[in-house]
Amino acid sequence: MYDHLTLLSGRAHPQLAGEIAEYLGVRLASVELSNFPDGEISLKLNQNVRGRDVFIVQPTSPPVNDNLMELLILMDACRRASAERITAVIPYFGYARQDRKDSGRVPITSKLVANLINEAGADRVLAMDLHAAQIQGFFDTPVDHLYAAPILDRYFRSLNIPDKDLVVVSPDEGSIKRTLQHNNNIGGTLAIVDKRRKNALETQQANIIGGPIEGKVALLFDDMISTGGSIVGAVNVVKEHGAREIYVSASHAVFCGPAIKLLSEAPIKEIVVTNSLPIPDQDKLSNLRTISIAPLLGEAIRRIHRNESVSHLFD
């Protein structure tokens, strides 16, 4: 079935790549990766990829510049080794928040990164929960965009929270569409936290639209948790409005800056994330639950390799 498939991984998230390989029943290709004393990346492929359908698993997670450069070098090596097709499997796409000019004299960095990935040799891209769906259009190659929502929703349905006790909460106005999808899949009522941005680093949450919240079990969904300021601010507002229990869920656990401190002090019963990024042991919270996306990515890779529909995964 996989005579011409080669799966390889950079150093960003080898554990996830290993789980994908296990799902597919293949071995990860052998790659030598190291750094020269000045920090330059050294790479050698230890097996033949000529004429192969190559899938490179490498989220551009922190340290984002190192992992991005490693992805580019991996693709260049495969292209120069005559791979038939190269798919960049990017579970988390860094620089995604810089997707537009929202003031003068600023770059559109996510478009620049897309150009770099195309130029390095990617024939297609497999990504999950891009911060903005229009980033797919920044690439000049096909993009298969996966969603973690079905996996996360399946977990919350397994908790068997009565519909009358459940409220699904959008942490800000920008997440309303995503929250509506979760609401349709899980049930309960819908509420929105009215968030006002004070400056580039601070947001202020004040009001609840919809609801009711009091005495309910609240589920808050976002695409990523970075510094934790926005989601914890929303959690505090929901708690002030009388929520009985609060769950927080995100596709990408970036957890940088004060995130661990803020999340550990917030009144959150459980934080549910995927393993799209590696979470260091020192960043693991007692109420953190990680759900693997390896079967989702593995099935998408299988379908791409066999020229089958990927969108069928969400039908």
What domains can be seen in the chain, in order of their start residue?
A: 5-146+294-313 (3.40.50.2020), 149-284 (3.40.50.2020)
Residue 197 is assigned to a ligand binding site: yes
pTM of full prediction above 0.85 = yes
Residue 204 has pLDDT above 60, yes or no: no
Residue 115 has pLDDT above 90, yes or no: yes
End-to-end CA distance of the chain: give it in Å, rounded.
Answer: 24
Residue 61 has pLDDT above 60, yes or no: yes
Positive or negative CA dihedral for 268, 90, 58, 302?
Answer: positive
Residue 74 has pLDDT above 80, yes or no: yes
Per-residue model confidence (pLDDT) at position 172: 85
Coil/strand/helix, residue 218? strand
Residue 172 is assigned to a ligand binding site: yes
Per-residue model confidence (pLDDT) at position 303: 96
Residue 26 has pLDDT above 90, yes or no: yes
Dihedrals φ, ψ of 96, to 5°? -65, -25
Q: List pLDDT tens digits, range 145-203.
A: 999 999 999 999 999 999 999 999 999 887 888 899 999 999 999 999 986 655 555 55
CA distances from 125 to 117, 128, 261 (A): 9, 10, 35
As a whole number, the mean pLDDT across the chain is 93
Residue 45 has pLDDT above 80, yes or no: yes
Respond yes or no on whether the N-terminal peptide bond of residue 63 is cis (omega within 30° of 0).
yes
Residue 97 is assigned to a ligand binding site: yes
Per-residue model confidence (pLDDT) at position 15: 97
Tokens in use for 119?
Answer: 């130029």
Residue 40 is assigned to a ligand binding site: yes
Catalytic residues: 195
Respond yes or no on whether the N-terminal peptide bond of residue 295 is cis (omega within 30° of 0).
no
